[in-house]
């Protein structure tokens, strides 16, 4: 029976390369000359810590980070920008969580959207993967096309297509 998996994974090496590119670009920019800037990637917890002189500079770093990530093949949705920057003495800090894996509530939304579509496929949740099975590969391809139109706020990848 044909099947495939819907996942939301971030390649750690690609993310590390993108963050290193951002560090180089920010240190070479004229508007950041003689400024306090720290960009730190915690690879274990998938967190990015930013420090700068002002909230405006933090926002500029985030913009560069998103654009460099997109050029490296990372989706903009992997960054959780919901936390607001906070002042800490003379500097401003911001913590950005990198979304890696599909949360349980997002997986349930995906399953519900697939069931509501009326396609003849079954969806099951396995940890942070949603497995889709169906009798025809065409139905699975219809699910992939349908899922590209969803606005869930997470980056989706399609793996392990089996026939």
Q: Where are the domains of the chain?
A: 3-8+102-162, 12-98
**pLDDT one-digit tens code per residue, 34-78:** 889 999 999 999 999 999 999 999 999 999 999 999 999 998 989
Query: Has this prediction a pTM greater than 0.75?
Result: yes
Q: What is the dihedral of CA 69, 49, 11, 138, to 10 degrees?
A: -70
Assigned superfamily of 12-98? YajQ-like, domain 2 (3.30.70.990)
**pLDDT one-digit tens code per residue, 129-143:** 999 998 988 888 888
Q: Does domain 3-8+102-162 sit in CATH 3.40.50.720?
A: no
- Same CATH fold assignment for domains 3-8+102-162 and 12-98: yes
């Amino acid at each position: 029976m044909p099947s495939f998996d819907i996942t939301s994974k971030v390649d750690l090496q690609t993310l590390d390369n993108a963050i290193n590119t951002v560090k180089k670009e920010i240190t070479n920019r004229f508007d950041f000359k003689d400024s306090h800037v720290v960009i730190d990637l915690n690879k274990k917890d998938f967190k990015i810590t930013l420090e700068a002189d002002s909230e405006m500079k933090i926002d500029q770093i985030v913009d560069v980070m998103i654009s460099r990530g997109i050029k490296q093949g990372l989706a903009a949705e992997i960054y959780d920008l919901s936390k607001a920057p906070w002042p800490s003495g003379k500097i401003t800090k911001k913590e950005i969580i990198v979304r890696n894996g599909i949360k349980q509530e997002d997986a349930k939304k995906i399953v519900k959207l697939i069931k509501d579509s009326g396609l003849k496929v079954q969806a099951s949740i396995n940890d942070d993967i949603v497995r889709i099975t169906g009798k025809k590969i065409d139905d699975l391809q219809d699910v992939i096309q349908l899922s590209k139109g969803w606005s869930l706020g997470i980056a989706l990848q399609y793996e392990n297509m089996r026939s």
